[in-house]
Amino acid sequence: MKNIVSPTQIIYEDVCRANIDRMLQKARHSGAVLRPHFKTHQSVEVGRWFREAGIDRIAVSSVSMAQQFAADGWMDIMIAFPVNFFEMDAINQLASRLKLGLLAASTGVISLLKKQLKHPVDLYIKVDVGTHRTGFDPYDTTLLDQELEQIPNTSRLRLKGLVAHAGHTYQAASHEEIHSIYRGGVQILTNIRERYNDRFPELVISWGDTPSCSVVEDLSQVDELRPGNFVYYDLMQWQLNACRLSNIGMVVAAPLVALHPGRNEAVVYAGAVHLSKEQLITRQGEKWYGIMVLLDDSGRWRLPEQQVWVHRLSQEHGILKVPPALFSQLQIGQMTGIIPVHSCLAADLLPKRLIV
């Protein structure tokens, strides 16, 4: 803690390793393989905790992340993002030396890959199971039929599986709704697998999103799990009841820089460029950009007796609403902690990390 002077990720190794182990056990009990998404932490060191737990394959969301983790020895990497054809040189370079997975998320991708790929890759079809971000429409398979006809009988493009990310679990109102999204999504993927079973008999089903992977106990209907956020969790997952407070693996250290007794507000050095502007709306209609925690000298955190939340952000400022009883105990020059709304975005923004 002594070396922290500005917004920094404090990462709790014991909590993260326990989160990794718990998800890995669930995957094993479900007969599924865990391919954790490394976009959350983007850290070589945290990645090694996964490796030590027995993980040998990962997902990332950019070519540059694939290069980063390839450089640390990861040899089975899925780029779980639509192919960016501007980066084909780097993609070919990766494909030449490791087991690379690519996504076809809309039509036209396979014909471009056929022309531009120089080494074998595993191809996955992205299916839209209801998030409507990207992926093929499972209810009108015309485009998907056409796209799959493009797959040649050559060795460079191996159709390996179906990929889905049920991001709409993040808006779920209850665990029952998360279960329902999972059941519906898996049914969609199973139907698609069935549809193409004659030509592609061994497609795997790869399923993402931390809420469903955390909440659903039996995930045996899928072959591969791709959650990422679960290594840190965050306020959004806590609001979804997808984790406990004790599972929070990262908080943001935030120097307290101003106190305004007239309106019981404190200002911390942790703004939009540290926490991101990801917000959550509470049941009371309040907008939260994070909640404040108290840090001890070793960097461990605890909740104050009353909730203190970040209710406004500008580029470098976070504005906290503080109940009067706590306000009088705060002082300028104190280090506070913020549990971010979305740990993936905060981690991306904060290159400084302290592992405790």
Question: 14, 173, 198, 262: which one contacts a copy of itself (CB under 8 A)?
Answer: 262
Is residue 94 close enough to count as binding a copy of itself by CB under 8 A? no
Question: Rounded to whole angstroms, what are the CA distances from 302 to 245, 292, 295?
Answer: 10, 9, 7
Q: Which stretch binds a copy of itself (CB under 8 A): 94-102, 126-134, 176-184, 302-310?
A: 126-134
Q: What are phi and psi of 84, to 5 degrees?
A: -95, 105
Closest to a copy of itself by CB, 53 or 259: 259
State the minimum distance, in angstroms, from the CB of residue 347 to a copy of itself. 10
Q: Which is nearer to a copy of itself, 32 or 349 (CB)?
A: 349
The nearest distance, CB 80 to a copy of itself, in angstroms, is 10
Asked if residue 61 binds a copy of itself (CB under 8 A), the reply is yes
DSSP β-bridge partners for residue 354: 10
- Calpha distance 227→36 (Å, rounded): 5
- Residues of this chain, 275-294, that bind a copy of itself according to CB under 8 A: 276-279
Token look-up 């004790």 returns 246
- Return all residues near 89 (Cβ < 8 A) that are at least 6 apart: none
Name beta bridge partners: 253: 8, 337
Within 13 A of 141's CA, how many CA atoms are on the CB side? 13
State in angstroms the smallest separation of the CB of 54 from a copy of itself: 26
Work out whether the CA dihedral 157, 160, 161, 163 comes out positive or negative.
negative
Task: State the Cα–Cα distance between residues 1 and 5, nearest whole angstrom.
Answer: 9
Q: Which stretch binds a copy of itself (CB under 8 A): 22-30, 153-161, 185-193, 315-323?
A: 315-323
**Applying CB under 8 A, which residues contact a copy of itself?**
4-6, 39, 61-64, 81-87, 90, 105-109, 112, 128, 132-134, 137, 140, 143, 167, 255, 257-263, 265, 267, 269, 272-273, 276-279, 312, 314-317, 319, 331-333, 335, 344-345, 348-349
